[in-house]
Amino acid sequence: MPCNELVKLVNVVKVYGSGETRTYGLRGVSLTVCSGEFIAIMGPSGSGKSTLLNIIGLLDKPTSGKVYIDGVDVEELSSRELAMLRNRKIGFVFQHFNLISRLTVLENIELPLIARGVPRRARRELAVKALLRVGGDTSWLAKKPTQLSGGQQQRVAIARAIVGNPDLILADEPTGNLDRVSARTVVKTFIELNQAGQTIILVTHDPEVANCARKIYVIRDGRIVGKLEPDPSKCILNTVQ
C-alpha cells in the first residue's frame, strides 16, 4: 500500500540544558509514520519516549534535524501556524488524563473545538458523538472529571483527543494509571479507532499493550534500536478475562 507520510522525522536530536547539565533526550531519530498505522513505542525509563512524542506532537522543538507533519516542514511555521496545525492534526492522550478539573466533562471534550471557533450547538453535538464513540455515557457530561473513575476519565480524554477529527493520536502511557480492566477498555478503544482509519502512536512500558499495536519500535538511550513484530496473542485484550 502506498504510504501517505503523516509524520516524518529526519535525524532528530534533542539536547536539554547546556554545559555540565547537558542531557540528550534524543540522539538522532529518523522515523516515518504512514496514515493508518498503529505504532507502539517501548523503551526503558529515560530512553526518550516522551521527548519523541512531544516533538512529533509539536509541543517541543528539536535541537537539530527535521520534522514534517503531513509533508509540512514545521520549522517554516510561525507559532500561530504551529498551534493551528497541532489543533487540527493532532490529538493527545496522557497518562494522568490532563483533564481540567474545574470544567465539566462536556466542556473538557469541547476544548479543541473552542480554539477553532466552532459554534456552541455544533460543539455539543460533536462532543456527545465523540464520547459515545469511546464507550462513554451522556450521564457523564455535566459531571466534573473527578466524579468519574480513572478508566472513565481516560475515555473522556480520548473523546477530547478525537473530537476535532485529527489525523493523528499521540498517547503517552495512556494505561499507566489504570487497573487492568480499564486498561483493556482503553486499548480496545484505540484498536477500534485505528480500524476506522485513525493513525495512532502510543508510548507504553507494558508489553501487553504494545502487542495490540501493529508495529513496535524499541527506543534506548535516545535512539530507535529496533522493531518488534507484535504478538496479538499477548495483547491485553486476549490475556485479561
Per CB under 6 A, residues contacting ligand ATP are 16-17, 23, 25, 43, 45-51
HSE toward the beta carbon, residue 195, CA cutoff 13 A: 8
Cβ 221 to ligand ATP shortest distance, Å: 9
Cβ 54 to ligand ATP shortest distance, Å: 8
Contact 111, 123 (CB under 8 A): no
Three cell numbers written together for 203: 508510548
Q: Which of 23, 64 has the CB closer to ligand ATP?
A: 23
Q: In what order do the strands lie in the sheet with 199-203?
A: 90-94, 168-172, 199-203, 38-42, 215-220, 223-228
The torsion of the CA quartet 24, 28, 30, 36, rounded to 10 degrees, works out to -10
Cβ 28 to ligand ATP shortest distance, Å: 14
The DSSP-derived string for 25-75 is EEEEEEEEEETT-EEEEE--TTSSHHHHHHHHTTSS--SEEEEEETTEEGG
Q: Which of 50, 152 has the CB closer to ligand ATP?
A: 50
Cβ 93 to ligand ATP shortest distance, Å: 15
Cβ 198 to ligand ATP shortest distance, Å: 23
Q: Which of 127, 203 has the CB closer to ligand ATP?
A: 203
Cβ 11 to ligand ATP shortest distance, Å: 17
Q: Which of 42, 126 has the CB closer to ligand ATP?
A: 42
Contact 75, 8 (CB under 8 A): no
CA separation for the pair 190, 159 (Å, rounded): 11
Cell 466552532 -> residue: 118
Q: Which of 95, 199 has the CB closer to ligand ATP?
A: 95
Write the single-letter amino acid at 92. F
Q: Which of 48, 57 has the CB closer to ligand ATP?
A: 48
